[in-house]
Structure 1
Amino acid sequence: MDLKNFSKDAVVGVVGVGSFGTVIANMLAEKNKVLVYARKEEVVEEINQFHRAQNREFDPTILATHDPEELCNSCHTIFFMVPSSGFQEVARKFAPFLQPYHLVIHGTKGLCLDLPEGKDLDSLKSINRRRILTMSEVLQKETVAVRVGCLAGPNISKELALSQPAATVIASKFNEVILEGQRLLRSERFQVYGNSDIIGVELSGVLKNIIAIAAGALAGLGLGENAKGLLISRGMVEMIHLSKALGGSVKSVFGLAGVGDLVTTCNSVNSRNFTVGYRLAKGEKLSEILADMEEVAEGINTVKIIKGFLESADLRAPITENLYRVLFEELEIEEALQFLMKYPFNVDVDFV
């Protein structure tokens, strides 16, 4: 691909062209030249020729490549928008070409495991914290990238694609990453906040997916707003305890990437995690749901990982534990709900 004329000005890179990656690329293209990376050559050709791919429209100024070296050489700032299941593999593919001068911001709300040789998640009874990697930790482990950040918040792709008002958080230990993310993305309809607690922000975005699955199940059972209010409030308490145990700040859970995203995904039929819970409550099997979902519901893998972490940390997280039993041990949702209603929560707020 000829980038001679394209690279006269600064170019922003986007890795991944799923629903969220496409939306972010289009938002960036309003003020910047954008180069996106897609793994499949046919997807790259479709974007470059027709400005569309996988039934998604791309800004006509966006160009695509399937060459990691080309993207890294062309771009100073790169947004990684890759599902957690493939994040480590993609990071390794880009590792030879990423340099310490790159600014790397990811938008993935999931966790990855640093596993012993020959082991997989299902073979481990317990998982300690050093085995659990957020996506920023994956980038720092697999590449020489130093200035790493994350993007998190109530950012449902379908609403962003319709230019509906929204906000997000750019989190990083490096202020220049926050400022650059704000400069590139902020607009009249998209507010961008900053936060230095990158681990807390990442964990908030990850843990709320668990509660979103449970909220979808409540909706599928038709149990009303009182039950949802109970779930969200107790879910936030569970998120706070888990985030603290995993190294995050309580403040981030109370922010846009925590409670803001939690409330949004627990009320949205456009949330993949909410949809999984809803369909489970309607009697579908998890295998059936996953078979026809176009994109990953990150909360499913997160439930597995956090359940393993609970075993090693001697912690209780009743919503997560019972959701694990529903997803992987065929516990009926009604039984899980009865257990939670009888669980002896004696104190409303126990984290202040």
Structure 2
Amino acid sequence: MQNLKSIAVLGAGAWGSSLAAIASSNNHQVSIWSRNGSQTLAQVVENADTIVSAISMKGVREVATQLQSLPIPPKAVFVTATKGLEPEYTSTPSQIWQETFPSHPVVVLSGPNLSKEIQLELPAATVVASTSKDAAEFVQLVFSSSRFRVYTNSDPLGVELGGTLKNVIAIASGVCDGLQLGTNAKAALVTRGLTEIIRIGNLWGAKTETFYGLSGLGDLLATCNSPLSRNYQVGYQMACGKTLTEVLAHLEGTAEGVNTCQVLMQRAKQRNISMPITEQVYRLLQGEVTPRQALDELMLRDIKPEYSY
């Protein structure tokens, strides 16, 4: 196997812990940092070959800024495993890391990876993407195992956006199941949801084919069909009568789709992009419509061709 590396994982939540366990099972030296942990950021990143960010979106810029003042090993590779968008600048996590550390390669890790299944050592696959082929292949070697298959990709923005944007559709999917609308409705929702993801992803600069891969369609299928998905749970429980505040108060971890939906609507309005599913999820989260009213709005839209020619 490859020579062993020193891996720093930032974030001790379910996802960070899962990635740390995978790297550790490959016999790498792994250190984990969390806000309530015993080790400082400086101690964890000292001599790190790879710095993995698995913190929630709201903490990314703050932690990146803190790291900026520390002596980072010159050849360290940054890996971002956060799925979200920054509200103020609509930046993705990798854009924040690359802006903060312009001389270091940044790799995006994303795929259909429900943390609880990873912890049970069930088989899974993911994608690592970077503009640096060497960096992507380096990270591929760090995390590849008999239970975790890792593919490389040269479209980091597309890989990142696939994992981020699908969270909004996962909320809609939870609503669909909570209202017991059936398989036909769910299939239509997920398919049209993918169309929305590709539409705004292309505008952002991502490649269409990336969204048909593991980090796009793959992740969309996983989160739209599993009660283990926090975003799915938001939609499902709201469809069952709970308020957003009630759902979030009892949710383990962060449902990034709630924040992502607001950022997406900002961008869609600015660019005059049609995103009907995202719009109804936004109105639901804002308390403007009930789950049933959101469904009616989608079903009663003007009829149109499936594709615009």
TM-score class, shorter-chain normalisation, is over 0.9
1:78 lines up with 2:51 in the alignment: yes
- 4+ residue stretches of structure 1 with deviation over 6 A? none
- Answer with 1 or 2: which has the greater Rg: 1
Return the offset for 1:99.
5.1
**Counterpart residue number, 2:16:** 21
Return the offset for 1:71.
2.2
**Counterpart residue number, 1:11:** 6
Cα pair distance change 1:256/1:9, threshold 3 Å: closer
Q: Map 1:127-146 to 2 at 5 A.
A: 131-146=89-104
1:219 lines up with 2:177 in the alignment: yes
CA contact (8 A) 2:107 2:128 kept: yes
User: Residue deviations 1:308-342, cap 9 Å, x none?
Assistant: 11111111100011111111033011111011112
Cα pair distance change 1:166/1:345, threshold 3 Å: farther
Structure 2: give runs of 5+ residues left out of the alignment.
Answer: none
Q: Map 1:152-163 to 2 at 5 A.
A: 152-163=110-121
After TM superposition, the structure 1 stretch with the greater mean CA deviation from structure 2, 154-163 or 172-181, is 172-181
Q: Secondary structure at the match of 1:283?
A: coil
For residues 10 and 229 of structure 1, the distance between their equivalents in structure 2, rounded to whole angstroms, comes to 43
Return the offset for 1:73.
1.9
**Counterpart residue number, 1:175:** 133
For residues 15 and 145 of structure 1, the distance between their equivalents in structure 2, rounded to whole angstroms, comes to 20
For residues 103 and 245 of structure 1, the distance between their equivalents in structure 2, rounded to whole angstroms, comes to 28
Counterpart of 2:142 in structure 1: which amino acid? L
Return the offset for 1:349.
3.6
Counterpart of 1:23 in structure 2: which amino acid? S
Report sequence identity in percent.
Answer: 37
1:101 equivalent among 75, 86, 90 = 75
Counterpart of 2:159 in structure 1: which amino acid? V
Counterpart of 1:90 in structure 2: which amino acid? V
Q: TM-score, normalised by structure 2?
A: 0.95
For residues 91 and 66 of structure 2, the distance between their equivalents in structure 1, rounded to whole angstroms, comes to 18
- Note the aligned Cα RMSD (angstroms): 1.5
Structure 1: give runs of 5+ residues left out of the alignment.
Answer: 1-7, 45-64, 116-130
Return the offset for 1:350.
4.1
Return the offset for 1:72.
2.3
For residues 327 and 10 of structure 1, the distance between their equivalents in structure 2, rounded to whole angstroms, comes to 43
Return the offset for 1:142.
2.6
After TM superposition, the structure 1 stretch with the greater mean CA deviation from structure 2, 232-241 or 142-151, is 142-151
After TM superposition, the structure 1 stretch with the greater mean CA deviation from structure 2, 301-310 or 8-17, is 8-17
**Counterpart residue number, 1:35:** 31
**Counterpart residue number, 1:333:** 291
Counterpart of 1:35 in structure 2: which amino acid? S
**Counterpart residue number, 1:254:** 212
